[in-house]
Amino acid sequence: MTTLSDVSDMLRSARREARLSQDELARRAGVARTTVARMENLARADMSVSVLVRLLEAAGYGLKLAKLGHARTVEDILAEQRRGDST
């Protein structure tokens, strides 16, 4: 199970992989730097999904739904079906 703490760690990793500071990511996403810091450190008990998506997109990532235990996302499966793949 992915916890809120795991999501926070993933956001921090995505930002670092994109070689962005918290300030740069915040500017790209149109949020305050303190929002990035809060979400990376879980200073609040909850995390706004809409802000999470904006931050991930600003770092060059997307939020995708994947069935537990599977490496492929729903988008991958739909694309395969459209192409007629049987994998």
Task: For the chain, give every domain's residue range.
Answer: 4-83
Number of other residues whose CB lies within 10 A of the CB of residue 45: 6
**When comparing pLDDT for 62 and 2, which is higher?**
62
| Angstrom distance (rounded) from CA 63 to CA 22 | 19
- pLDDT value at position 67? 62
Confidence class for position 65, pLDDT limits 50, 70, 90: low
What class is the 4-83 domain?
mainly alpha
Confidence class for position 46, pLDDT limits 50, 70, 90: low
Number of other residues whose CB lies within 10 A of the CB of residue 14: 17
Q: What is the SS3 assignment for 41? A: helix
